Homo-oligomer: A and B are copies of this chain.
Amino acid sequence: MSRQVKIVLCGLGNVGKALLELLAERGGEIESRYGVRLILSAAVDIGGAAVGNDEGLPAAELLAHLRVGNAVEAFGSFAQPGKTGKETIDEVEADVLIETTPTNLIDGEPGRTHVFAALEKGMEVVSANKGPIVLFYQEIHELARQKDCGVHISAATAAALPTLDVGQVCLAGARLLEIEGILNGSTNYILTRMQQDGCGYETALKEAQELGIAETDPSLDVEGRDTAHKIVLIANRLFGISLGPKDITVEGITKITVDDVAAARDAGQVIKLMGTATRTDSGVQLSVGPKRLEEQHPLASVGGSEKAISYLTDTMHRITVSGGKSSPTGAAAALLKDLINAC
Chain A interfacial positions (CB closer than 8 Å to B):
22, 26, 29-30, 34, 160-162, 165-166, 169-175, 296, 298, 301, 303, 310, 313, 315-325, 329-330, 332-334, 336-337, 339-341
Chain B residues within 8 Å of A317, by CB: 160, 323-325, 330
Assembly stoichiometry (copies): 2
Judged by DSSP, the binding face of A is mixed
Chain B residues within 8 Å of A303, by CB: 296
B173 and A22 contact, CB distance less than 8 A = yes
Assembled-state Cα–Cα distance A172/B333 (Å)? 9
**A125 CB to nearest chain B CB (Å):** 17
**A258 CB to nearest chain B CB (Å):** 24
Tell me which of B319, B324, B334 contacts A160 (CB under 8 A).
B319
**A337 CB to nearest chain B CB (Å):** 5
Q: List 24 A-B contacts (CB under 8 A).
A: A22-B173, A22-B315, A160-B315, A162-B166, A162-B319, A165-B169, A165-B170, A166-B321, A169-B169, A169-B337, A172-B336, A172-B337, A172-B341, A173-B333, A173-B336, A174-B333, A296-B303, A298-B322, A298-B323, A315-B329, A316-B333, A317-B325, A319-B322, A320-B321
Assembled-state Cα–Cα distance A318/B160 (Å)? 9
Assembled-state Cα–Cα distance A275/B156 (Å)? 33
Assembled-state Cα–Cα distance A294/B173 (Å)? 36
Tell me which of B175, B323, B334, B337 contacts A318 (CB under 8 A).
B323
